[in-house]
Amino acid sequence: MSKQLADLKLALKSLGKEYAKLKTLPAAEKKSFGEKLNAKKSALLEEIRRETERAVSENLEPLDLSAPFAENAEKPTFPRGTIHPLSAELDLVAEIWKDMGFSVIESVQLDDEFNMFDALNFPQNHPARDSYDTFRTEEGFIPPAHTSTMQYRALTRFRPDLEEKGEIAVVIPGRVFRNEDLDATHEHTFYQCEGIFVSKTANLGQLLAVWKNFFETYYGQELNIKTQPGFFPFTEPSLEFQIEKPASLGGKGDGWLEMGGCGMIHPNVLKTAGIDPEVYRGFAWGGGIDRLVMLKYGINDVRYFESGKLDFLKEF
Ligand code: DAH
């Protein structure tokens, strides 16, 4: 920054003190003093604008738009940023799946009726379409309410793998959105990870082993798992997947934690994606990432993640 510009900015800053003084003046003097200050301020702002323009046009001042603000450019005092805990954990989750032989693709952040419902075997006008509390844009697009909206895309994109490798193995981490009332365990914006496996012999036993292995790797310990019957239009049978709360996750070793839904991919979902359900079978699963991370670090309010609270973010 040119010396002149720096001086002008300094002068503007010191006006702040004079404004503070204004409050202490007797009423009679306030008006004229205030007007003087305002005039000074406008003049300074105008000069700063002109000086900045001049510097840029004369190319004295190459604009570094990425430069953080620092009062003393020689000795910057701004705080250092850190990687957001969810970004770091999403990378870790992707690495674990990659090590297990899965491809990782990105999800979309704006989706449509076809991928959200039709391709996932939700019957037309079925109440299950309402159970996802979807947002909608004025144009009728849907911010995805779960990463399952990526199933059709992933199945069609990786379909050639069935011929070449005999299987599709892909996971899709992504950001999802639901029109929900917010509390310590509910956010309108959160993260999930979807998984899909298709082969001629895919079965429920493999599904449970694969997902168990993921959780054990993520938490670095052996875990007991159990399932309960569930309902999703895109799987048959459908299951809710639980892990036993281990002491190292802050629990007392008792209780079960619901980690997501899973099941054998419904034949209609395979058929829509151009895969013959008479030849191939698949399983799929999807679970929340925020909850996974909260359990790992003992975070008790999901809203911290999107809050921008520096005190919270600095802990990671
Ligand atoms: N998408 C479901 C949800 O958010 C979870 C889920 C259930 C994903 C079954 C799956 C699945 O892939 O097969 O509630």
Query: With bands split at pLDDT 50, 70 and 90, how would you rate the model's confidence at 258?
Result: very high
Question: Which residue's CA lies nearest to atom 14 of ligand 1?
Answer: 261
Alpha-carbon torsion angle 84, 88, 91, 95, nearest 10: 180
For 197, the token pair is 């496996």
Query: With bands split at pLDDT 50, 70 and 90, how would you rate the model's confidence at 308?
Result: confident
Highest mean pLDDT among 35-39, 71-75, 171-175: 171-175
Distance 148 CA to ligand 1 centre (A): 6
Count of Cβ atoms closer than 10 Å to residue 100 Cβ: 14
CA nearest to 193, candidates 296, 292, 267: 292
Question: Which residue's CA lies nearest to atom 8 of ligand 1?
Answer: 286
Give the integer Cα–Cα distance in Å for 282 and 207: 9
pLDDT at 70 over 60: no
283 CB within 6 A, ligand 1: no
pTM for the full model? Answer: 0.76
Which ligand 1 atom sits closest to the C-alpha of 238? 9
286 CB within 6 A, ligand 1: yes
Count of Cβ atoms closer than 10 Å to residue 195 Cβ: 25
- pLDDT for residue 16: 83
DSSP bridge partners of 256? 244
Query: With bands split at pLDDT 50, 70 and 90, how would you rate the model's confidence at 69?
Result: low
Which ligand 1 atom sits closest to the C-alpha of 263? 13
Question: Which residue's CA lies nearest to atom 9 of ligand 1?
Answer: 262
Render the burial of 228-249: b for 16+ CB within 10 Å, e for the rest. eebebbbbeebbbbbbbbbeeb
pLDDT at 143 over 70: yes
232 CB within 6 A, ligand 1: yes
85 CB within 6 A, ligand 1: no
Which ligand 1 atom sits closest to the C-alpha of 283? 13
Query: With bands split at pLDDT 50, 70 and 90, how would you rate the model's confidence at 310?
Result: confident
CA nearest to 199, candidates 157, 148, 164, 229: 164
Distance 247 CA to ligand 1 centre (A): 27
Question: For the chain, how far is it from start to end, CA to CA, in angstroms?
Answer: 34
CA nearest to 73, candidates 5, 20, 23: 5
- pLDDT for residue 55: 77
Q: Which fold has domain 85-313?
A: BirA Bifunctional Protein; domain 2 (3.30.930)
Which ligand 1 atom sits closest to the C-alpha of 194? 12
Q: Where are the domains of the chain?
A: 3-59, 85-313
Question: Which residue's CA lies nearest to atom 7 of ligand 1?
Answer: 261
Which ligand 1 atom sits closest to the C-alpha of 145? 4
- Reported as a single tens digit per residue, the pLDDT across 176-228 is 999 989 999 999 999 999 999 999 999 999 999 999 999 999 999 999 999 99
Distance 194 CA to ligand 1 centre (A): 7
259 CB within 6 A, ligand 1: no
- pLDDT for residue 31: 86
